[in-house]
Amino acid sequence: MPPTPAGELAVPNLHRAARFEDAVHNLVERRLRRTGWQTNIIAYAGYGAPGWARVLCRVLLGRPDTRSRQRLEKVRGWRSFTTLPAKHVTVTIEAGGVTHEAKADRSGFVDTVVEADLTPGWASVRLSVADAEPVEALIRVLDPNVRFGILSDIDDTVMVTALPRPLLAAWNTFVLDEHARAAVPGMAVLYERLVTAHPGAPVFYLSTGAWNVAPTLTRFLSRHLYPAGPLLLTDWGPTADRWFRSGREHKRATLARLSREFPDVRWLLIGDDGQHDPEIYREFAAGHPDNVAGVAIRRLSPTQSVLAGSLPTPSGSSSSGPVGQKWLSAPDGAGLWKLLRDAGLV
């Protein structure tokens, strides 16, 4: 079992935004519980290795009927951000015949590492709380012999969202559902070819998006035939010490965590040049050269780059990273596949 990351230090005085959010949640929660609303668990796909598993879920309040959890899972657009968390609820985790307990945080999230003897591949753990129907959470268990993995950004890498454009990003996030979103051409085929060329290789999807939209993203990836894999998202709203979370720090921290948990895996990092992926990947490659097999960047068109607030990327197709890894760039999945094949990464 990998070393558990140090826990967050207790913050005696929450940020005023967090205090306001807690006050509103407490008021609404009391009223809803008086009307009979109960807790529901939304399970997210986790990951692990033989001996341990990272379990991810969120506990929310919902109406006390058999359809409430189904409604929560199918919630779309702005409604995803109006759910009410059930704070500090104890969640029972049954993994590999062993029972564990974890407590949800102030946003209703559980993110914990438990001991579990699970077989490599896809496994599941059982999650339950006192007054909710138990649910199954999938766990992607990496074989100890795996040496290659795929870590992919989501926005404008596998799904066209125009995230850097604030107004359009808000429309895509809060209004549209997954049926109205477009897949980046060729990327699903690229990922399927990669996992075929590297049997047992995991696919992780890393994004600055909120956990609120995880069900929507999961349905989108499945509908467009992307390989299944855990989503590594972040929380929505104020933190204990600031108004909003840092998306870049979330990506940096997640990459560092994966390098600790899977020190023998070399990752193919896939992203786009519309945000900060090249900068973040370059930093990680410089600090963890043994954990990077290569970097593949989906190159936005000149128009997309300008609208995204960045300069168009030069037309060159490949370059060397700071420590010699292959850095490849193309506008779509077909172009990246050719470059990856020529570079000997498949």
Coil, helix or strand for 330?
strand
Dihedral of CA 140/144/150/152: which sign?
A: positive
pLDDT band at residue 83 using 50, 70 and 90 as cut-offs = low
H helices of 74-174, in order, are: 166-174
Element (H, E) at 202: none
Q: Where are the domains of the chain?
A: 16-141, 148-342
Is residue 135 helix, strand or coil? Answer: strand
Is 94 exposed, middle or buried, given 0-12, 13-18 or 19+ CB atoms closer than 10 A? middle
* Encoded tokens for 317: 């197709």
Mean pLDDT along residues 118-133: 93
CA distance 93 to 100: 5
Instruction: Inform me whether the pLDDT recorded for 50 exceeds 80.
Output: yes
Q: Mean pLDDT throughout 162-190?
A: 71
- What per-residue string of b and e applies to 21-35 under the rule 16 or more CB within 10 Å gives b? beeebeeebeebeee
Of 139 and 76, the structure prediction assigns the larger pLDDT to: 139
Any idea which of 54-68, 183-197, 210-224, 313-327 has the lowest mean pLDDT?
A: 313-327
Tell me how far CA of residue 76 lies from CA of 79, 125, 175, 185, in angstroms: 6, 26, 8, 24
Whole-angstrom Cα distance, residue 114 to residue 100? 7
Q: Which of 21, 262, 227 is nearest to 141 (CA)?
A: 262
Instruction: Please give the CATH architecture assigned to the domain spanning 148-342.
Output: 3-Layer(aba) Sandwich (3.40)
Q: Which is more confident, 335 or 79?
A: 335
pTM above 0.95, yes or no: no
pLDDT tens digits along 13-44: 555 555 555 555 555 555 655 565 678 899 99
Is residue 131 helix, strand or coil? coil
Instruction: Please tell me the least confidently modeled range out of 59-73, 136-150, 217-231, 323-337.
Output: 59-73
16-141 maps to which CATH number?
A: 2.60.40
Residue 78's alpha-carbon distances to 21, 52, 58, 173, 273, in angstroms, are: 17, 35, 18, 7, 27
Helix, strand, or coil here: 291?
Answer: helix
For the chain, what percent of residues have pLDDT higher than 90? 52
- pLDDT of 104 over the 70 cut: yes
Predicted confidence band of residue 229 (pLDDT cuts 50, 70, 90): very high
Please tell me the predicted confidence (pLDDT) of residue 243.
Answer: 45
Structure tokens at 166: 């604030």
Average pLDDT, the chain: 80
Any alpha helices (H) in the chain, and if so which ranges?
Answer: 16-34, 68-73, 166-174, 187-197, 214-223, 247-261, 277-287, 302-307, 333-342
- From residue 306, how far is each of 162, 280, 287, 299, 313 by CA, in Å? 11, 21, 31, 12, 10
- Counted residue by residue, the chain has a size of 346
- Average pLDDT for 250-274: 96
